[in-house]
Amino acid sequence: MSIAIYPGSFDPVTTGHVNLIERASKIFDHVIVCVLINSGKKTPLFSIDERVNMLECVTEGFHNVSVRYYDGLLVDFAKQEEANIIVRGLREMSDFDVELQMAQGNKAASGGTLETVFLPTDPNYSFVSSTMIREFANYHHICREFVPDIVADRLEEKVKSK
Protein backbone atom coordinates (compact mmCIF):
# COMPACT_ATOMS: atom_id res chain seq x y z
CA MET A 1 0.00 0.00 0.00
CA SER A 2 1.44 3.39 -1.00
CA ILE A 3 1.07 6.03 1.69
CA ALA A 4 2.06 9.56 0.69
CA ILE A 5 2.34 12.59 2.91
CA TYR A 6 1.48 16.01 1.54
CA PRO A 7 3.08 18.39 4.04
CA GLY A 8 2.76 22.14 4.26
CA SER A 9 1.85 25.14 6.39
CA PHE A 10 -1.55 25.52 4.67
CA ASP A 11 -2.08 29.02 6.12
CA PRO A 12 -4.64 28.84 4.57
CA VAL A 13 -5.28 25.96 2.14
CA THR A 14 -5.74 27.30 -1.41
CA THR A 15 -7.47 25.94 -4.49
CA GLY A 16 -4.02 25.04 -5.81
CA HIS A 17 -3.44 22.84 -2.75
CA VAL A 18 -6.84 21.16 -3.18
CA ASN A 19 -6.08 20.47 -6.84
CA LEU A 20 -2.82 18.81 -5.82
CA ILE A 21 -4.48 16.76 -3.06
CA GLU A 22 -7.07 15.49 -5.54
CA ARG A 23 -4.40 14.49 -8.06
CA ALA A 24 -2.23 12.83 -5.41
CA SER A 25 -5.27 10.89 -4.16
CA LYS A 26 -5.56 9.31 -7.61
CA ILE A 27 -1.91 8.25 -7.65
CA PHE A 28 -1.41 6.90 -4.10
CA ASP A 29 -3.52 4.50 -2.02
CA HIS A 30 -3.64 6.92 0.88
CA VAL A 31 -2.67 10.59 1.21
CA ILE A 32 -2.03 12.17 4.59
CA VAL A 33 -2.20 15.95 4.41
CA CYS A 34 -0.05 17.10 7.30
CA VAL A 35 0.09 20.59 8.75
CA LEU A 36 3.64 21.22 9.93
CA ILE A 37 5.48 24.22 11.28
CA ASN A 38 7.61 26.14 8.79
CA SER A 39 10.09 27.88 11.10
CA GLY A 40 10.70 30.51 8.40
CA LYS A 41 7.07 31.70 8.60
CA LYS A 42 6.85 33.50 11.90
CA THR A 43 3.40 35.10 11.95
CA PRO A 44 0.67 32.66 10.96
CA LEU A 45 -2.78 34.06 10.26
CA PHE A 46 -4.71 30.94 11.24
CA SER A 47 -4.09 28.71 14.26
CA ILE A 48 -3.13 25.08 13.70
CA ASP A 49 -6.65 23.95 14.71
CA GLU A 50 -8.24 26.37 12.24
CA ARG A 51 -5.97 25.17 9.43
CA VAL A 52 -6.64 21.51 10.18
CA ASN A 53 -10.37 22.17 10.35
CA MET A 54 -10.42 23.98 6.97
CA LEU A 55 -8.40 21.14 5.41
CA GLU A 56 -10.80 18.55 6.84
CA CYS A 57 -13.76 20.42 5.38
CA VAL A 58 -12.27 20.78 1.91
CA THR A 59 -11.05 17.17 1.69
CA GLU A 60 -14.13 15.43 3.07
CA GLY A 61 -15.09 14.28 -0.44
CA PHE A 62 -11.84 12.35 -0.91
CA HIS A 63 -12.22 8.87 0.59
CA ASN A 64 -8.48 8.11 0.81
CA VAL A 65 -7.28 11.43 2.26
CA SER A 66 -6.80 12.21 5.94
CA VAL A 67 -5.63 15.37 7.67
CA ARG A 68 -3.17 15.57 10.54
CA TYR A 69 -0.98 17.98 12.45
CA TYR A 70 2.53 17.17 13.62
CA ASP A 71 4.76 19.23 15.87
CA GLY A 72 8.19 18.11 14.75
CA LEU A 73 10.23 16.96 11.82
CA LEU A 74 8.56 15.68 8.69
CA VAL A 75 10.95 12.75 8.61
CA ASP A 76 9.80 11.65 12.10
CA PHE A 77 6.15 11.97 11.15
CA ALA A 78 6.75 9.86 8.04
CA LYS A 79 8.44 7.17 10.13
CA GLN A 80 5.56 7.18 12.61
CA GLU A 81 3.03 6.77 9.79
CA GLU A 82 5.18 4.18 7.95
CA ALA A 83 5.03 6.39 4.86
CA ASN A 84 7.95 6.65 2.48
CA ILE A 85 6.65 9.17 -0.03
CA ILE A 86 6.37 12.94 0.28
CA VAL A 87 4.38 14.90 -2.30
CA ARG A 88 5.21 18.52 -3.04
CA GLY A 89 3.89 20.86 -5.70
CA LEU A 90 6.18 22.88 -7.94
CA ARG A 91 4.79 26.18 -9.16
CA GLU A 92 7.83 27.59 -10.88
CA MET A 93 11.58 27.18 -11.25
CA SER A 94 12.29 29.33 -8.21
CA ASP A 95 10.51 26.75 -6.02
CA PHE A 96 12.89 24.10 -7.21
CA ASP A 97 16.09 25.07 -5.36
CA VAL A 98 14.41 25.04 -1.96
CA GLU A 99 12.36 21.95 -2.72
CA LEU A 100 15.35 19.99 -3.99
CA GLN A 101 17.30 20.80 -0.85
CA MET A 102 14.36 19.75 1.33
CA ALA A 103 13.87 16.52 -0.62
CA GLN A 104 17.53 15.59 -0.40
CA GLY A 105 17.70 16.58 3.29
CA ASN A 106 14.65 14.50 4.16
CA LYS A 107 15.98 11.53 2.23
CA ALA A 108 19.34 11.70 4.00
CA ALA A 109 17.69 12.15 7.42
CA SER A 110 15.50 9.09 6.82
CA GLY A 111 18.47 6.87 6.07
CA GLY A 112 17.61 6.88 2.38
CA THR A 113 14.04 5.61 2.52
CA LEU A 114 11.98 8.79 2.15
CA GLU A 115 11.43 9.82 -1.46
CA THR A 116 9.87 13.10 -2.61
CA VAL A 117 7.59 13.15 -5.63
CA PHE A 118 7.04 16.54 -7.27
CA LEU A 119 3.79 17.33 -9.05
CA PRO A 120 3.62 20.39 -11.28
CA THR A 121 1.03 22.87 -10.10
CA ASP A 122 -1.92 23.27 -12.44
CA PRO A 123 -1.09 26.34 -14.59
CA ASN A 124 -4.35 27.97 -13.46
CA TYR A 125 -2.92 28.19 -9.96
CA SER A 126 0.80 28.64 -10.62
CA PHE A 127 0.86 32.15 -9.12
CA VAL A 128 -1.41 31.34 -6.18
CA SER A 129 0.20 31.02 -2.77
CA SER A 130 -1.03 31.19 0.81
CA THR A 131 1.33 34.11 1.33
CA MET A 132 -0.36 36.07 -1.48
CA ILE A 133 -3.84 35.20 -0.16
CA ARG A 134 -2.86 36.38 3.36
CA GLU A 135 -1.31 39.58 2.02
CA PHE A 136 -4.49 40.49 0.10
CA ALA A 137 -6.67 39.55 3.09
CA ASN A 138 -4.64 41.80 5.39
CA TYR A 139 -5.88 44.66 3.23
CA HIS A 140 -9.44 43.28 3.31
CA HIS A 141 -9.37 41.87 -0.21
CA ILE A 142 -10.53 38.26 -0.18
CA CYS A 143 -9.33 36.29 -3.25
CA ARG A 144 -12.47 34.14 -3.47
CA GLU A 145 -11.46 32.67 -6.84
CA PHE A 146 -8.28 31.11 -5.39
CA VAL A 147 -9.50 29.60 -2.14
CA PRO A 148 -12.35 27.21 -1.33
CA ASP A 149 -15.57 28.98 -0.21
CA ILE A 150 -15.16 27.98 3.41
CA VAL A 151 -11.65 29.46 3.46
CA ALA A 152 -12.87 32.70 1.90
CA ASP A 153 -15.55 32.97 4.62
CA ARG A 154 -13.04 32.26 7.39
CA LEU A 155 -10.63 34.82 5.91
CA GLU A 156 -13.37 37.41 5.90
CA GLU A 157 -14.22 36.70 9.57
CA LYS A 158 -10.54 36.73 10.49
CA VAL A 159 -9.74 40.10 8.98
CA LYS A 160 -12.96 41.62 10.33
CA SER A 161 -11.89 40.72 13.84
CA LYS A 162 -8.42 42.29 13.42
Active site residues: 17, 41, 91, 130
Binding segment (CB under 6 A) for ligand PNS, from list 7-15, 51-59, 138-146, 147-155 = 7-15
Contact pattern for ligand PNS over residues 56 through 95, marking x by CB under 6 A? -----------------xx---------------------
Residue 120's nearest CA partner among 90, 85, 93 is 90
Among 4, 8, 89, 128, binds ligand PNS (CB under 6 A): 8
Half-sphere CA count of 96, side-chain side, radius 13 A: 4
Residue 4's nearest CA partner among 95, 121, 101, 116 is 116
Identify the sign of the CA torsion 125, 96, 135, 130.
positive
**Span 27-56, contacts to ligand PNS by CB under 6 A:** 36-38, 41
